[in-house]
Amino acid sequence: MTVARLALGLALTAVLAGGCSSDAPEAPSVAPTAIPTSEPEPEPEPESELPEDVTGEVVDVRVNDLSIVDSGLHRDGAEADVSTPPDAAAIDAAVGAATAWLDGHLTDLVGGGAGSIEADGLTGETAALTVGLTDPTRVVTHARYAFTVGARGLPEWVHVTVDLDRHDDSEASATFVFLPTAEGVHLLAARPTAETSP
């Protein structure tokens, strides 16, 4: 994008510079003659705008401690009765992977695609869920992701509440649950929550 803008800027600069040149042809001194033409050319149709990528806003990240402290499995306060500190880097990575998954999924839907749910192994009814969230006629204007991550040190599940505003002033929300994997996250389950009209 930056390179293109730079090239365009250079081109405009060159044109303007040429227009100011002393070598520019003088304006004709006689009245212009009308040149008969055929039908005026139709206005070119505006190119359909490609929908912008959806970039969700992470509005909240909470950690649900799954460590065994105070569980009664061990005597309270004993050496084994310990809380396992959450691994902040791993949690951030899981949240980042889930955010990327959701952004990609929603962007694909806005562009008329089928989204990423079937690719994660959930088929059939799940695919229909995607229709309820967004499509080319109801483009996402704002996506908010609120995360809760279950962790015993490392993240064990990632729960996301997704709230969408759409350009027709309608809204939709849904819940997604991901499992962390070595490669990122894997969609485990999804649950639509609600849809509202403008």
Binders of another protein in range 12-71 (CB under 8 A): 58-68, 70-71
Residue selected from 9, 96, 112, 136 as contacting another protein according to rule CB under 8 A? 96
By CB under 8 A, residue 163 contacts another protein: yes
Least distance CB 112 / another protein (angstroms): 19
Residue selected from 53, 127, 136, 168 as contacting another protein according to rule CB under 8 A? 127
77-84, long-range: CB < 8 A, 24+ apart? 84/152, 84/153
Determine the angle formed by the axes of helices 125-133 and 88-110, rounding to 10 degrees: 80
Least distance CB 69 / another protein (angstroms): 8
The residues, any chain, with a CB within 8 Å of residue 155's CB and separated by 6 or more, are: 86, 87, 90, 91, 94, 149, 180
Residue selected from 51, 87, 156, 184 as contacting another protein according to rule CB under 8 A? 156
Q: For residues 80 and 74, is the Cβ–Cβ distance under 8 A? A: yes
By CB under 8 A, residue 114 contacts another protein: no
